[in-house]
Chain A
Amino acid sequence: MARLYTNDLSIGYGEQLIVKELSIKIPDKKITTIIGSNGCGKSTLLKAITRIIAPQSGTVILDGENISKENTKLLAKKMAILPQTPESASGLTVGELVSYGRFPYQNGFGRLTKRDYEAIDWALEVTGTIDYKYRPVDALSGGQRQRVWIAMAVAQETDIIFLDEPTTYLDMAHQLEVLELLQRLNTEQGRTVVMVLHDLNQAARFADYIIALKDGEIVKAGNCEEVIHYDVLKKVFHIDAEIGRDPRTNKPMCVTYNLIKGE
């Protein structure tokens, strides 16, 4: 039984529904990746699951409770969110920004306890950002900044971490760095990671469970063997894909592809 699942979730802005009656389960202690073409509703789905937007109908259930009725601070102790390219917090040091991750555990004035300091240092340590602790966030490169935001989510000490396209705007090496960091958080600490990714091969390489969306509906959900498949990719992206094997990880990968013309 998954801790987190949705029931007939419909989400939309105004009249138009972007996600239609979606029921998904997020496997515990696994890496789940949501893929799909632009505008298919993957970010919208992530926002609804993380209570950033309210669904039009349906529910998101975490530990048996409807999250829209749950105390938001309590939820923040269970799930952390890294939105797509958050604006940099101007004027703050890395340490301070990461300390914001302790907000769900604080009351009133926001004074940090010894326990908070430990959690912050530990988050800086695992994300490899401890060296920048006293540097201003604005002065960091894109890859460093992304790791700092992840550190903030880690300091929140939640079982589940959501990320919306955590690799956007990063170069190849930094993309891999971020994904490997998330993988470590999953394998070493047993955290559930749910993220939206654009790159199919990265999804195949890092995800245990992939949800492929088209027009707000599930085309296929399963492991990489099931989802990174000619028929699925044809339906989701409208592409004619050549599926091979990654010689190093032996995972399926899209070697090359063409657009499907006509129809």
Chain B
Amino acid sequence: MIQPALLKKQRITLAVLLALIVTTSLIGLGTGYSSLSFDRLIPTLFGQGTFKEEFVLFSVRLPRLVVTLLAGMALALSGAILQGITRNDLADPGIIGINSGAGVGIAIFFLFFPVQAGSLLYFLPLVAFISALFTACLIYLLSFNKSSGLQPVRLMLVGVGFSMALSGVMIVLISSAERAKVDFIAKWIAGNIWGTDWPFVWAILPWLVVLIPFALYKAHTLNLLSLHEPVAIGLGLSIEKERVVLLLTAVALAASAVSVTGGVAFIGLMAPHIAKALVGPRNQLALPVALFMGGWLLLIADTIGRNLLGPDGIPAGIVVALIGAPYFIRLLLKK
């Protein structure tokens, strides 16, 4: 039933986004603190580089690029699903407590478990993932009502309340901590891509390999969920079941992203929005566009942030917020 013209538009949009991702990737790979000039990029990729060039490309920049791209995709898809099930355009993984939940988990772990730096690093994504999942489950339980089931509006209100409370908890936690630890946590909250090594890619990839196709498969269900509730029930959609399944999908996607990127906000809000503005509300078309858009947005934010200031750069989350906040305000004004 989707018109061919629209389908074509979506294909073109996807192709353009793919081109943007490739271009941004190449720019990202060729710029940074250590020098690896653009003309050495292709030879190094094909194994013709020096040891140093290969190290910079394969052990520093490439894993970071892949992690960023994957995390952006996961956040975008998570946001698209949440906007669908809550029927609210302003929904974002942040509102179901993913960021703050993972943040508190990281803070507690980092402050109170004295582990050596090496082993700690690979343990953090797991901690972030579990605490994000735990927070989301708590929010779900508190917003669940026995007679009326899972009410999206309630979910959002409880979620927002939880996020605020957890942010408070985090400030209390880190106010008494050592300087160096506070630095790391503050950076984590700001959304600094820190999972920049191949193991992190392997940690996040399986989730995406399973959940992205699943979310795309559920595109039509999401279409129906965006209708008036009685209409969707009348069409034979098990609203309760689908909401829970999709919520879990969104939580798992966002938690896996947050576990390697820290608290990046706004990608989950912006990417689905821009996608819908470009190709319309049909999720079959919008979800893939949102996916690419999310990957690209986070990639470009990280590339800019990495090269803007000093050796450490600005966390990608802050660059995203600089773009995202005005977008959010524009959205609110439009309503």
Contacts and interface: CB of A to CB of B under 8 A. Distances in A.
B227 A89 contact: yes
Interface in B275-314: 280-282, 284
Contact of A103 (B147, B226, B235, B280): B235
A102 to B, nearest CB: 9
Interface string B213-224: 000010110011
Contact of A109 (B147, B219, B235, B237): B219
B1 A104 contact: no
A134 B5 CA distance: 12
Given A96-B282, A109-B220, A120-B1, A83 B228 contact: yes
A86 B229 CA distance: 9
Interface stretch (A70-78, A190-198, A228-236): A70-78
Contacts of A68: none
Contact of B224 (A51, A103, A156): A103
A80 interface: yes
Contacts of A91: 280-282
Contacts of B238: 72-73
Contacts of A99: 1
B74 to A, nearest CB: 21
A52 interface: yes
Nearest to A99: B1
A50 B236 contact: no
B119 interface: no
Interface in A23-37: none
A140 to B, nearest CB: 17
B244 interface: no
B220 A106 contact: yes
B235 A101 contact: yes
B234 A50 contact: yes
A134 B3 contact: yes
A81 B2 contact: no
B1 A52 contact: no
Nearest to A77: B236
Contacts of A41: none
Contact of B236 (A52, A54, A72, A89): A72
A90 interface: yes
Nearest to A116: B1
Nearest to A117: B1
A50 B235 CA distance: 11
A90 B281 contact: yes
A95 to B, nearest CB: 5
Contacts of A51: 233
The winner among B226, B236, B238, B280 for most chain A CB atoms within 10 A is: B236
A92 B226 CA distance: 12
A83 B233 CA distance: 10
A107 to B, nearest CB: 10
Contacts of A108: 217
Interface in B136-153: 147
Given A86-B228, A100-B223, A108-B217, A80 B234 contact: yes
B147 A104 contact: no
Q: Which of A47, A75, A93, A110 has the most CB of B within 10 A?
A: A110
B75 to A, nearest CB: 24
A43 to B, nearest CB: 10
Contact of A156 (B3, B219, B227, B235): B235
A91 B89 CA distance: 14
Contact of B230 (A52, A73, A77, A156): A52
Contacts of B284: 109-110
B230 A86 contact: yes
B231 interface: yes
Contact of A76 (B1, B2, B236): B236
A120 B237 CA distance: 19
B219 A110 contact: yes
Nearest to B216: A109
B217 A81 contact: no
B231 A93 contact: no
Return the 7 tightest CB-CB contacts between A and B, nearest first. Answer: A76-B236, A110-B220, A81-B234, A73-B236, A83-B230, A104-B236, A91-B281
Given A80-B234, A91-B280, A162-B234, 8 more contacts: A51-B233, A72-B236, A73-B238, A81-B230, A96-B1, A100-B223, A103-B237, A153-B234
